[in-house]
Structure 1
């Protein structure tokens, strides 16, 4: 999904492929005003994926309502402010509850490698966001054929892959978030 979001954000992109259920669940967790079934109980059985909270039919929107629904969501997005975001949907310090989410390294499957650095999104882990280190940028990018692209990363990504991962020292990045 991470790679597909990158591809779909490029100029000329006409669609998105990937795990849309994961993207939808993420949107529903962080943006309350976009949630479906807001009044339904959000109970998840121990061991079930959190995305199950958002299962079920959407009441009040039939197929003929799609244009009205699209306008509705466009208006919501146009009026969005930081107050419309639930910055901590999983509690005050989810990173400490699930430490594996706070590693810096490479997500790799087959020939795809993506750098992962949650210090760029500390606020969603319950910490004050600071200016993060620069992202790892490719050393070479080319488009060998229409609809394809090739990205080559240099030594930075190789080093991260060889070291597998590094746990992030949260104290070095920020202080715990405090609403007061």
Structure 2
């Protein structure tokens, strides 16, 4: 067998850890906003070989993986149970460009990175860390809210929805965090899933070399449902050959992708766990609050995050929710908006641009 880079891609990922510990005094504000559980996602060991093998099985038409056991995918259930993010509520959307970014930053963060540039649209993580890492001993409630917003923004762009600009976070999220009491009224969970779907679809193109979106969620989904992957990947003898091959540039990583590819092909037909979270040892530690709005897990509707619109086909993977799978309807296309980006669209208000899909989401339970 001849191993080539064309046959076995090893993708890179865009992830930016928080880089500093959470001050315990901020926890009540993060809980209030619905990000309390998501803040626990601070350390992770991503296996890009496994992720690369999964991408080969992704179908952009249905947003599902095609495995020997059948169709399956990451769902709103996975987002809700792993991160505790709200999945019901208004879509995550807004304008492409903030009219007065410095004013917005002073209003909601109490500081601005550069008053001389009136058109900046992103905040560097290094600036956020330098200005908000340490909370004063006698910090008031008003002084605590600002670093709480910063922490949420870092989680959003660094872990939950990272993209190519993984050292910066877009200001578009800041207006949504203005009132922490209102933050949980947005469907953050569906936005995280939309971003991941978007990146998986983009990465199916043969020239793609990196992958954004919530890769932590993607890897957890695979390891929970195909536990053989987890058990084997932690046994050193499996990768002795990989170390041996590594003397040839690039071959070691490609061989690891081959191992995961073979494991997925050979062990999913009978070893796939459709309802992995119902195992007693797992169900016992999941709080009941994570099941709020679980009726949405099976829905068939568009999921949205600013410019991104992807279709969520919960009806195609009913076995993951404990139901009998019927023959699903044809996948719902979103047309030209699939894969749309922000380049050259500075005046866009995405709620207006995607108003048809926003309306369908708002009537998802009708």
2:310/2:338 contact within 8 Å kept: no
Q: 1:124: how far off? A: 0.8
3-state secondary structure, aligned to 1:23: helix
2:304/2:310 contact within 8 Å kept: yes
Which residue of 1 is the match for residue 298 of structure 2?
102
Note if 1:2 corresponds to 2:197.
yes
Bigger radius of gyration among the two: 2
Aligned pairs (5 A) from 1:23-172 = 23-36=218-231, 58=234, 60=236, 64=243, 67=252, 69-91=256-278, 98-140=294-336, 159-163=356-360, 164-167=362-365
* Higher RCO (CA-CA < 8 Å; seq separation 6+): 2
3-state secondary structure, aligned to 2:301: strand
Q: 1:99: how far off? A: 2.1
Could you say what the CA RMSD is over the residues aligned between the two structures, in angstroms?
Answer: 3.7
3-state secondary structure, aligned to 1:33: helix
2:299/2:314 contact within 8 Å kept: yes
Shift in CA distance, 137/100, structure 1 to aligned 2, threshold 3 Å: closer
Q: 1:25: how far off? A: 0.4
Question: How many aligned residue pairs are there?
Answer: 137
Q: Distance in 1 between matches of 2:297 and 2:339?
A: 33
- Larger helix share, 1 or 2: 2
1:107/1:114 contact within 8 Å kept: yes
Q: Distance in 2 between matches of 1:106 and 1:85?
A: 27
Deviation by residue 1:118-150 (Cα, 9 ceiling, x = unmatched): 001111111111221112224447999xxx9xx
2:298/2:318 contact within 8 Å kept: no
Deviation by residue 1:54-99 (Cα, 9 ceiling, x = unmatched): xxxx56369947736545323313423421211111229x989822
1:119/1:132 contact within 8 Å kept: yes
Structure 1 residues without counterparts, runs of 5 or longer: 39-57, 149-156, 169-180
Q: Distance in 1 between matches of 2:303 and 2:260?
A: 32
Q: Distance in 2 between matches of 1:71 and 1:21?
A: 21
Q: Distance in 1 between matches of 2:302 and 2:214?
A: 19
Shift in CA distance, 167/37, structure 1 to aligned 2, threshold 3 Å: farther
1:104/1:118 contact within 8 Å kept: yes
Q: TM-score, normalised by structure 1?
A: 0.58
Q: 1:15 aligns with which of 201, 210, 226?
A: 210
Which residue of 2 is the match for residue 42 of structure 1?
none
Q: Which runs of 4+ in 1 moved over 3 A?
A: 58-72, 94-97, 138-144, 157-160
2:299/2:364 contact within 8 Å kept: yes
Shift in CA distance, 96/131, structure 1 to aligned 2, threshold 3 Å: farther
Q: TM-score, normalised by structure 2?
A: 0.31
Q: 1:111: how far off? A: 1.7
Structure 2 residues without counterparts, runs of 5 or longer: 1-195, 247-251, 280-289, 344-353
Moved more, 107-116 or 21-30: 107-116
